[in-house]
């Protein structure tokens, strides 16, 4: 590209066609009989995400189209609703009609479609998808016959697409759910109302899952119940809710996030009152954290696609940017993170397909909960850095809003890291779970099993890295596992080692399945080990491998190697 005027973006392509690593991962995880239909669906979804949905998402994010509060109609009647603008409702309707919920035969298929939707950032849709999914799951699992019969069809309707929300946080309590103050009160006829404020109300569309105290005498979360609060009551009357203002957020600006008051609003309990916090965690927060991880994986892959596309075309000093070793290193960093985080996230989703979101077996439930918290943390914690890395490949053009999606992804990435538990909250939760269960022993067993399946002559240098890191972790845990103060103080260091080790072990398992026809996963595992555990090792064998195969990896070509070795 001698002149910038000749530049062509990735819009209008097929993101799934360009995502061979994800194709390979899904092929491993899906049943043979499901794979053709799922792949055909994902091609369609990815083309829409790169085309029509991309255009709508960009239009919705422009300042003049951002959401606003409507307090009254033209005749002065109270309506208390959000005007989402012209483009967001159209995008939501088209995604719902495509079947983002209804077309999926299993969790893998559903979250793969959501992954491509999220290639456009949050885009005023993916938060609504996540919140509606959690509300549907909670009603299906715990809701009364009335809730299931009257509201499930509405939550799945293309007339009110992705209109669910979840309101927990208040000024008195955020991550500390037991500190919330909103009150749920029952009258003599058994009807419930909620009074109080909610401080972060994202996607305040039509149907709200609200956490409120029903028993002030109970300590902490024991007195918290979950309720469905509709904006409009079944008889057509406006419920007693009011909007105070919309947040002026750093990112996800086309998605409204409000401050709201509940003024004796009619509410319908979801499940047993005393199980409210359990329902909230099992079916709402856990689902949202999986959505968050999937979104983060999508952001990373879209950033890679944008940066690679630019580097292929842009010329400087007589060569394309793609020919420059440091540009290749940045692109490979993005691609390695995408591979590693997708393996963690979508293997977790395959487990949800097998076990359900709330497994009955206590050990299975704890292991799955650990992986959910780990995936949310690991995929999000480097996301802002990944967006920055991609933007810098585009130079000055990387910060221009109408040249590339990357500035919007950069802002949204900070929100992705904050939502559904910032890093400290997630790592501390993992440590608290470890203190009351056999989670650490279960993790040790997982890694021992992975090492037992890992031939000593395959990726031998990477194996030594993993054994070394695992040994350090084991020694620290052996001395301090019963010391909660130590676990709290070192939570992020402990969890980071756990995350890096399990991600690379699972990448290696993938590499072993594909080694005869394609060495890409093996090369990614080697690169991941260097990036995570040997960043400053000038003599790491990954350096020589990348010098030879770096361009092929960036282009996601199949790499056939006999007797693969790190040297």
Contact 47, 18 (CB under 8 A): no
Predicted TM-score (pTM) of the model is 0.97
- Each domain of the chain, given as residue ranges in start order, spans 164-277, 438-554
Mean pLDDT of the chain: 96
CB under 8 Å to 75, separation ≥6 — which residues? none
pLDDT(66) > 80: yes
Confidence class for position 398, pLDDT limits 50, 70, 90: very high
CATH class of 164-277: mainly beta
pLDDT(320) > 70: yes
Tell me: the pLDDT tens digits for 290-314?
999 999 999 999 999 999 999 999 9
Average pLDDT over residues 157-173: 94
Average pLDDT over residues 463-483: 96
Contact 290, 137 (CB under 8 A): no
- Please count the other Cβ atoms lying within 10 Å of the Cβ belonging to residue 355: 15
Q: Which two tokens stand for residue 143?
A: 């809701």
Distance CA 192, CA 226 (A): 11
Contact 132, 166 (CB under 8 A): no
pLDDT(174) > 80: no
CA separation (Å) from 20 to 15, 17, 23? Answer: 10, 7, 5
pLDDT(101) > 80: yes
Question: What's the full length of the chain, in residues?
Answer: 567
């Amino acid at each position: 590209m001698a002149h910038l005027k000749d530049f062509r973006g990735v819009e209008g392509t097929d993101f799934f066609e360009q995502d061979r690593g994800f194709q390979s991962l899904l092929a491993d995880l899906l049943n043979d009989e499901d794979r053709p239909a799922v792949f055909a669906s994902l091609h369609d979804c990815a083309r829409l995400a790169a085309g029509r949905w991309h255009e709508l998402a960009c239009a919705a994010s422009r300042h003049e189209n951002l959401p606003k509060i409507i307090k009254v109609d033209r005749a002065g009647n109270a309506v208390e609703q959000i005007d989402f603008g012209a483009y967001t409702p159209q995008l939501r309707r088209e995604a719902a009609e495509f079947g983002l919920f209804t077309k999926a035969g299993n969790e893998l298929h559903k979250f793969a479609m959501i992954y491509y939707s999220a290639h456009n950032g949050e885009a005023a849709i993916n938060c609504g998808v996540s919140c509606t999914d959690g509300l549907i799951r909670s009603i299906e699992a715990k809701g009364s016959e009335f809730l299931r019969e009257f509201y499930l069809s509405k939550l799945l309707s293309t007339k009110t697409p992705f209109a669910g929300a979840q309101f927990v946080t208040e000024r008195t309590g955020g991550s500390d759910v037991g500190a919330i103050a909103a009150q749920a009160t029952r009258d003599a006829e058994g009807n419930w109302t909620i009074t109080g404020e909610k401080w972060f109300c994202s996607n305040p569309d039509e149907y709200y899952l609200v956490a409120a105290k029903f028993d002030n005498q109970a300590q902490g979360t024991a007195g918290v119940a979950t309720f469905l609060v509709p904006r409009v009551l079944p008889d057509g009357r406006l419920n007693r809710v009011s909007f105070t203002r919309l947040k002026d957020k750093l990112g996800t600006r086309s998605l409204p996030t409000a401050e709201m008051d509940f003024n004796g609003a009619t509410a319908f309990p979801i499940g047993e009152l005393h199980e409210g916090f359990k329902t909230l965690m099992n079916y709402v927060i856990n689902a949202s954290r999986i959505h968050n991880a999937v979104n983060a994986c999508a952001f990373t892959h879209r950033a890679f696609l944008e940066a690679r596309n630019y580097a292929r075309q842009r010329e400087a000093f007589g060569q394309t940017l793609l020919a420059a070793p440091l540009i290749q290193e940045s692109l490979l960093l993005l691609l390695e993170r995408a591979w590693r985080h997708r393996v963690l996230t979508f293997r977790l989703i395959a487990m949800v397909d097998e076990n359900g979101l709330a497994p009955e077996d206590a050990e299975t439930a704890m292991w799955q909960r650990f992986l959910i918290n780990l995936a949310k943390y690991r995929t999000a914690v480097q996301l802002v850095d990944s967006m920055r890395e991609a933007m810098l490949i585009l130079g000055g053009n990387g910060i221009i809003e109408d040249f590339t999606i990357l500035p919007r992804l950069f802002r949204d990435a900070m929100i992705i890291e904050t939502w559904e538990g910032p890093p400290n909250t997630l790592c501390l939760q993992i440590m608290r779970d470890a203190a009351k269960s056999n989670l650490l022993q279960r993790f040790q067993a997982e890694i021992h099993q992975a090492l037992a399946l890992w031939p000593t002559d395959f990726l031998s240098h990477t194996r030594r890295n993993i054994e070394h890191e695992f040994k350090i972790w084991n020694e620290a845990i052996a001395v301090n596992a019963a010391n909660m103060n130590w676990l709290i103080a070192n939570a992020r260091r402990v969890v980071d080692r756990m995350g890096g080790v399990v991600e690379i072990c699972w990448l290696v398992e993938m590499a072993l399945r594909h080694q005869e026809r394609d060495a890409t996963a093996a090369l990614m595992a080697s690169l991941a080990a260097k990036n995570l555990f040997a960043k400053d090792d000038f003599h790491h064998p990954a350096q020589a491998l990348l010098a030879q195969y770096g361009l092929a990896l960036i282009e996601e070509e199949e790499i056939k190697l006999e007797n693969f070795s790190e040297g």
